[in-house]
């Protein structure tokens, strides 16, 4: 796995001066450190993790979003979801895997998976601010399989996006 931390620090858990500077400046958070170490510990069992880029983690409540490189999402979702399950066990959070540098639509598709998106549109409010309205397909009136409030906060933290989430049968 590639991160902005050096592999020595990740493996030892003791930070060199360069890496501890990154933690001090806030470029790397404690949560990022923890996720990176968990991913590293899983590499042996799941070799596809060796090739992923880990950018950062963003949390809200019990949900933790892990942002990885372009094309890395399938590498984390493979193995029948075992990697995500292991991450959830070790972090105690519900994991969402998101891709770095994608367009808004792809970002929202990953954020709200497995529900599919009916429509995305932009709403301008009278005060000049903007909201992104996302309508998700829901079947049988079932509650969504994720915490909508947490995902909205993650969208704000990651993309500076204000979401309005609605459902359609």
Write the CA distances from 7 to 1, 12, 15, 120, integer angstroms: 9, 8, 10, 40
Residues facing residue 54 across a β-bridge: 68
Size of residue set near Zn ion by CB under 5 A = 4
Site for Zn ion in 42-61 (CB under 5 A): none
d(C-alpha 145, C-alpha 139), whole Å: 12
- Tell me if 16 contacts Zn ion by CB under 5 A: yes
Site for Zn ion in 17-36 (CB under 5 A): 19
Write the CA distances from 150 to 28, 52, 88, 157, 159, integer angstroms: 21, 25, 16, 11, 14
Site for Zn ion in 101-120 (CB under 5 A): none
- Tell me if 6 contacts Zn ion by CB under 5 A: yes
- Tell me if 9 contacts Zn ion by CB under 5 A: yes
Q: Which stretch binds Zn ion (CB under 5 A): 5-13, 38-46, 74-82, 138-146?
A: 5-13
Report, in Å, the least distance between residue 8 CB and Zn ion: 6
Classify the C-alpha dihedral 142-148-29-162 as positive or negative.
positive
- Tell me if 130 contacts Zn ion by CB under 5 A: no
Q: Which stretch binds Zn ion (CB under 5 A): 10-18, 82-90, 103-111, 135-143?
A: 10-18
- In this structure, what is the dihedral angle of CA atoms 52, 53, 58, 61, given to the nearest 10 degrees? 10
C-beta closer to Zn ion: residue 43 or 88: 43
User: Which residues lie near Zn ion (CB under 5 A)?
Assistant: 6, 9, 16, 19
């Amino acid at each position: 796995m590639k991160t902005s931390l050096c592999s020595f620090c990740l493996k030892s858990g003791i930070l060199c001066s360069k890496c501890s500077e990154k933690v001090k400046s806030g470029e790397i958070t404690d949560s990022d450190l923890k996720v990176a170490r968990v991913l590293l510990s899983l590499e042996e069992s799941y070799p596809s993790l060796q090739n992923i880029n880990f950018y950062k983690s963003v949390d809200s409540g019990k949900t933790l979003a892990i942002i990885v490189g372009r094309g890395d999402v399938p590498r984390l979702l493979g193995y029948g979801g075992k990697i995500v399950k292991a991450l959830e066990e070790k972090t105690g959070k519900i994991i969402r895997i998101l891709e770095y540098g994608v367009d808004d639509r792809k970002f929202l598709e990953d954020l709200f998976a497995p529900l599919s998106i009916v429509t995305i549109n932009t709403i301008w409010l009278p005060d000049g601010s903007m909201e992104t309205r996302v309508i998700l397909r829901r079947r049988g009136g079932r509650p969504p399989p994720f915490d909508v409030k947490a995902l909205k906060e993650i969208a704000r933290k990651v993309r500076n996006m204000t979401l309005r989430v609605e459902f359609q049968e």
